[in-house]
């Protein structure tokens, strides 16, 4: 009787233990101002933080947060011009901007998901590709009033979505530490009356530091 029960137990199948999809590790990645793109024909360094999981040593899925610092600017159009009228129609609070102000700071912050594929991660150097989709966050314009921007005069804010295909390399430094070097192209939806798509869509270059248990399983 006991042998029959043991035989039946061996015949059982379980979703997690018998699935062809295996969890390799959870991981976190940080880009501390080591990501670069362009906005308004100006270079912008971007900070990014993500956390997620790796499956079968090949596929990754992560949640990310990213944003730009207070360094990018846009010139304020003169009253009576078509661009000035476009800004007002888009919702910029032109009457809240100081008369002597010449430009506004443009910043964006958003969150989303990234997923991708990594090839031959058991090697020291391997290639990887993925897609990053930002769906929660926004872009704003402020008039400079404080160095850190905490109490700046906010005159415009709008929601944005981004789509960014990427291709790059991974370098295994230690079993718990990887470097990622990726190039991509970011497409951002934004009101063209404020910033044309040619001034927000941009190539991106990213250097990331990833931490997790990257041993082959």
49 neighbors 112 (Cβ within 8 angstroms): no
pLDDT at 105: 87
What does the alpha-carbon distance between residue 30 and residue 51 come to, in Å, rounded to a whole number?
9
Calculate the alpha carbon distances from 90 to 75, 79, 85, 103, 125 in Å. Answer: 16, 15, 9, 17, 47
pLDDT at 74: 85
**DSSP-assigned letters across all residues of 95-134:** GGS-TT--EEEEEEEEEEEEEEEES-TTSSEEEEEEEEEE
List alpha helices for the chain, DSSP H. 2-11, 15-18, 82-90, 197-200
pLDDT at 53: 95
What does the alpha-carbon distance between residue 36 and residue 150 come to, in Å, rounded to a whole number?
23
What does the alpha-carbon distance between residue 135 and residue 158 come to, in Å, rounded to a whole number?
12
Largest CA distance in the chain: 93
Q: What is the mean pLDDT of each run of 10 residues along the chain (217 residues)?
A: 53 63 91 78 84 95 87 85 89 88 86 96 96 89 69 85 95 95 90 71 91 87
127 neighbors 166 (Cβ within 8 angstroms): no
What does the alpha-carbon distance between residue 167 and residue 125 come to, in Å, rounded to a whole number?
14
What is the model's pTM?
0.79
What does the alpha-carbon distance between residue 177 and residue 155 come to, in Å, rounded to a whole number?
42
Q: Is 70 helix (H, G, I), strand (E, B) or coil?
A: coil
pLDDT at 62: 97
Calculate the alpha carbon distances from 43 to 102, 165, 184 in Å. Answer: 20, 19, 15
What's the DSSP call for residue 77?
P
Q: Which contacts qualify for 151-157: CB closer than 8 Å, 24 or more apart?
A: 152/70, 152/105, 153/96, 153/97, 153/98, 155/92, 155/93, 155/94, 155/96, 155/97, 155/104, 156/87, 156/90, 156/91, 156/92, 156/93, 156/104, 156/194
Domains along the sequence of the chain with CATH: 22-212 (2.40.160.20)
């Amino acid at each position: 009787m006991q042998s029959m029960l043991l035989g039946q137990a061996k015949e059982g199948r379980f979703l997690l233990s018998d699935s062809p999809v295996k969890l390799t590790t959870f991981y976190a990645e940080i880009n501390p101002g080591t990501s670069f793109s362009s906005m308004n024909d100006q270079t912008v360094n971007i900070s990014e933080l993500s956390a997620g999981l790796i499956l079968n040593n090949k596929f990754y899925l992560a949640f990310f947060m990213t944003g730009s610092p207070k360094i990018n600017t846009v010139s304020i159009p003169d009253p009576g011009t078509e661009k000035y009228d476009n800004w007002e129609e888009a919702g910029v609070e032109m009457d809240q901007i100081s008369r002597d102000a010449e430009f506004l700071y443009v910043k964006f912050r958003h969150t989303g998901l990234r997923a991708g594929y990594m090839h031959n991660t058991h090697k020291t150097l391997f290639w990887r590709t993925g897609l990053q989709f930002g769906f929660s966050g926004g872009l704003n314009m402020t008039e400079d009033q404080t160095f850190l921007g905490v109490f700046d005069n906010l005159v415009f804010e709008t929601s944005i979505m981004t789509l960014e295909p990427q291709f790059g390399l991974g370098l295994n430094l230690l079993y718990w530490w990887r470097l990622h070097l990726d190039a991509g192209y970011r497409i951002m939806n934004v009101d063209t009356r404020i910033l044309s798509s040619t001034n927000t869509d941009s190539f991106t270059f990213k250097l990331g530091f990833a931490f997790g248990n990257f041993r082959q399983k």
